[in-house]
Structure 1
């Protein structure tokens, strides 16, 4: 990628948004946003059958595949494909997967890059990843640990082309998180798709790039409080602390601020125009955050303690870490209203705690006296009563907001 071109995005503070913006530009340059995943699968599969499913293809064969690919796109979308699109894409693939100049590129590596930068939906991309990297075990197709590691390594070469690659440890951590608690040699498609929807950190650039592409022409009837642009085009960010405070994506990405907004305030991201009902809901939430600051802080502290307890109990060796700058802006997939406020209350439900109580009692009743069991039961009952009080206090907060 041109260094001067990369320099234009260096003001973007979040590495996820910076990577997504650069890759969106690469996608537009190669016109891969006009390509559908089904077309990629059809052409690569036909080429594999002709070459007896070779593991690698010559660069000349990859070039022929790309020529066929963009010829089909020209027929479907005349006048929109650059004549040099195939040449640009071939140069991109060779730079990513043939740095030593061997003249060969792995078929599924090229497929992973084309699929990731295509214009299809995230679900279609995820299913295509499974199709190319799954291993057939009898009648069931599975993604093994080695196959997932290969997929993540191949996908990691895409942000590396714009100077934003992750370390190998990120790939290993992502593989471990996907197979956490899995005893089999592989996972089925449903488990694989569920893990990808949870947005592992190593692939956050993929849904973010998709949202940037899907919202380029979306217009919001709101004014940016920093640059004063109206209407806001693309992604819209609304503060959940400041009243009627909106930011355009350029000001949000570059960290431009104005009073009274601060960087630590929770925000919500909108990909489409917001309805009147959603506007009222966000307004009431902003009022609540300002009127009940101390109570919200206490609830947040209680929530964090509860989550830490659950993590220590169920995930003693696996902890997620987030960069401070990305806490209030964790990207989520899909061209829809997406919210990720920091102050969102997430507490354990009484049902969840009662189920845990049953498991604990079954494991701890053996070898204990009746007096010890009664003492333990009283402690658990007291804990449940405290949690129920917490839920009642949250309901009272919502009722007070409704009256306001």
Structure 2
């Protein structure tokens, strides 16, 4: 059933509501296999199950029994088209959706008959006669109350499809009044007057004759060419202009509202759901010839409708006008006090405060996100510190300096460690560093060793401050080393057989560890050189 309603939504591109509703009902009629059900068969099933009192309620079990009998009879003649359990389930759901929106499990007998007969296979006037008999008295007359019940049950069918607004709304009083005005305001209505009124296609019931025309036009083939899409022959509805000669439109172009150059939608047109005869061609030719002498102003002033309009909007307009006048009168009577102006100021101030509150909440959310990022960075730094601690014993015979080893055992901060190892170089004394470069490296090493304070419980802010100091120290170190490499083309090595070498272990994954050698040239001015980049 859900797939069926989804397919009905594809027809929403039809511009005109009567045709849109009729095409939806035609698709629903085929899905429920009610286009195979004849009216005599339906009447026999109604009588078989005792559905004669139209005011009584029918529960779901009775509905299922009656629908099963209907579809079993259809299965006997259309066994390849009718699936009895599926059809019973879908038809039951449709009837409950139309007439039992509150899901009480019961509907009236009149509602059940109206829904089945409206979609069954029968002539249009036969349907009108059957529906009138259901609400007529024993004498064959119908009063306004009974006619209202019939029209109410009928209008529920397009209402369930969401199209009730185009047919005068759910209020059936204007339709009842229109019918009895057509019958010269008699207290009771006979069948002949009701049929004459229905032949005019009143607005509340126009969807039913359009449904029959849609069904009749499905197999119609017209020997004409569409002036818009050039389709030839035209299948389905054919719309002939009564303003221009040899101007025809197919149903696809007409439903989508397309027009050719020189033709307007307000021009009169005639619809054909069956192939035209020679007499109809002559009649249309005479009408076109007559309309050739009429101006555009005439067609705009005298629009022609294909149905009998029901003036339901006028009642709403009158009611709305009275209410608006009453509102204006009460508004003038209300005295204007300073308190009302104060209230307006308070309302405006409250609105501004709500806007400010929203901005503060947005900022607070941003700060919370930033706090989470800081916590994740702190966690990553701690992991790097633990990784360096575990890798420190694997770097050779590295010994921590006295000034930093005591802090490393007590603090959880990333600490700069300067470890000493023994190396042997055989390069000569002529490759010594210059005093200015030695002084620069000595200053950088001093900055690196004092990047972190010797404290036990640093905060998060001090941790990132120390990380920034470490980054600046690394920049200075790289700058000094770059200057040193550009000044000398060869490396400088120490002359003594066992100089002390310092290795920097930094808990920064982006910067590779560097090896610095210290040559004891003089007791007071040690010199440093870049030995290698440890892979």
* TM-score in terms of structure 2 length: 0.53
Does 2:171 correspond to 1:195?
A: no
Task: Name the counterpart of 1:177.
Answer: 178
Q: How many Å separate the matches in 1 of 2:177 and 2:211?
A: 25
Is contact 1:19–1:164 with CA below 8 Å preserved after alignment? yes
Q: CA RMSD in A?
A: 2.6
Superposed displacement of residue 205, structure 1: 0.3
Task: Name the counterpart of 2:18.
Answer: 16
Change in 2 beyond 3 A, CA 1:223/1:3: same
Structure 2: unaligned runs, 5 residues or longer: 309-535
Task: Name the counterpart of 1:64.
Answer: 65
Task: Name the counterpart of 2:103.
Answer: 101
Structure 1: unaligned runs, 5 residues or longer: 305-326, 333-404
Is contact 1:267–1:329 with CA below 8 Å preserved after alignment? no
Q: How many Å separate the matches in 2 of 1:8 and 1:169?
A: 25
Report 1:159-308 matches (<5 A).
159-166=158-165, 170-180=171-181, 182=184, 184-290=186-292, 292-293=293-294
Superposed displacement of residue 46, structure 1: 2.3
Superposed displacement of residue 328, structure 1: 4.9
Superposed displacement of residue 329, structure 1: 5.8
Greater RCO between the two (CA within 8 Å, min separation 6)?
Answer: 1
Change in 2 beyond 3 A, CA 1:237/1:145: same
Q: How many Å separate the matches in 1 of 2:198 and 2:261?
A: 38
Change in 2 beyond 3 A, CA 1:218/1:53: closer
* TM-score in terms of structure 1 length: 0.69
Change in 2 beyond 3 A, CA 1:288/1:131: closer
Does 2:147 correspond to 1:148?
A: yes
Change in 2 beyond 3 A, CA 1:67/1:299: closer
Superposed displacement of residue 88, structure 1: 1.1
Superposed displacement of residue 285, structure 1: 2.9
The one of 83, 93, 98 aligned to 1:91:
93
Is contact 1:37–1:128 with CA below 8 Å preserved after alignment? no
The one of 37, 40, 43 aligned to 1:41:
43
Change in 2 beyond 3 A, CA 1:169/1:90: closer
Q: How many Å separate the matches in 2 of 1:53 and 1:278?
A: 44
Q: How many Å separate the matches in 1 of 2:10 and 2:300?
A: 38
Q: How many Å separate the matches in 1 of 2:226 and 2:254?
A: 10
Superposed displacement of residue 141, structure 1: 2.0
Task: Name the counterpart of 1:81.
Answer: 82
Change in 2 beyond 3 A, CA 1:163/1:247: same
Task: Name the counterpart of 1:55.
Answer: 56
Larger radius of gyration: 2
Is contact 1:31–1:82 with CA below 8 Å preserved after alignment? no
The alignment partner of 2:122 has SS state of: coil
The alignment partner of 2:162 has SS state of: coil
Does 2:306 correspond to 1:330?
A: yes
Give a deviation string over 1:207-229, Cα, whole Å, max 9, x none. Answer: 00111012211111111111222
Q: How many Å separate the matches in 2 of 1:248 and 1:329?
A: 20
Change in 2 beyond 3 A, CA 1:142/1:52: closer
Report 1:377-396 matches (<5 A).
none
Q: How many Å separate the matches in 2 of 1:267 and 1:121?
A: 25
Change in 2 beyond 3 A, CA 1:330/1:5: same
Task: Name the counterpart of 2:417.
Answer: none
Superposed displacement of residue 160, structure 1: 1.4
Change in 2 beyond 3 A, CA 1:32/1:237: same
The alignment partner of 1:9 has SS state of: helix
Q: How many Å separate the matches in 2 of 1:156 and 1:299?
A: 32
Superposed displacement of residue 156, structure 1: 1.0
Change in 2 beyond 3 A, CA 1:240/1:135: same
Superposed displacement of residue 64, structure 1: 0.9
Superposed displacement of residue 29, structure 1: 0.9
Report 1:327-366 matches (<5 A).
327-328=303-304, 330=306
Is contact 2:16–2:255 with CA below 8 Å preserved after alignment? yes
Is contact 1:143–1:186 with CA below 8 Å preserved after alignment? yes
The alignment partner of 1:179 has SS state of: helix
The alignment partner of 1:238 has SS state of: strand
Aligned residues: 302
The alignment partner of 2:282 has SS state of: helix
Give a deviation string over 1:309-353, Cα, whole Å, max 9, x none. Answer: xxxxxxxxxxxxxxxxxx556169xxxxxxxxxxxxxxxxxxxxx
